[in-house]
Amino acid sequence: MRLAAEKLRLVQKILTVDDDELLSALSDLFEHIENKEALTELQRKEILLGIKQLEEGKKVSLTDFLEKVS
């Protein structure tokens, strides 16, 4: 049952996303997974860290991030 609850939680989070670029990145990720190209352990850890940071309110807009790294 835990897996089903986690899937529902992720779907609810995705439904709140208003950033086209982020939705595109998520779509690319799911497409990558659907193509049976498994994520590396490092990629999995980075994704989980990102989710944890979002849940803790530690987020930056994509525009701000791109300005910072450019």
pLDDT digits (tens, 9 = 90+) for 50-64: 888 888 888 888 888
**What is the reported pLDDT for 58?**
87
**What is the reported pLDDT for 35?**
64
**What is the reported pLDDT for 36?**
59
- Whole-model pTM: value is 0.45
Tokens 């986690």 map to which residue?
A: 6
Distance between CA atoms of 11 and 15, rounded to whole angstroms? 6
Are 62 and 19 spatial neighbours (Cβ–Cβ below 8 Å)? yes
Spell out the SS3 assignment of the chain: CHHHHHHHHHHHHHHCCCCHHHHHHHHHHHHHHHCCCCCCHHHHHHHHHHHHHHHCCCCCCHHHHHHHHC
Flag residues of the chain having pLDDT under 50. Answer: none
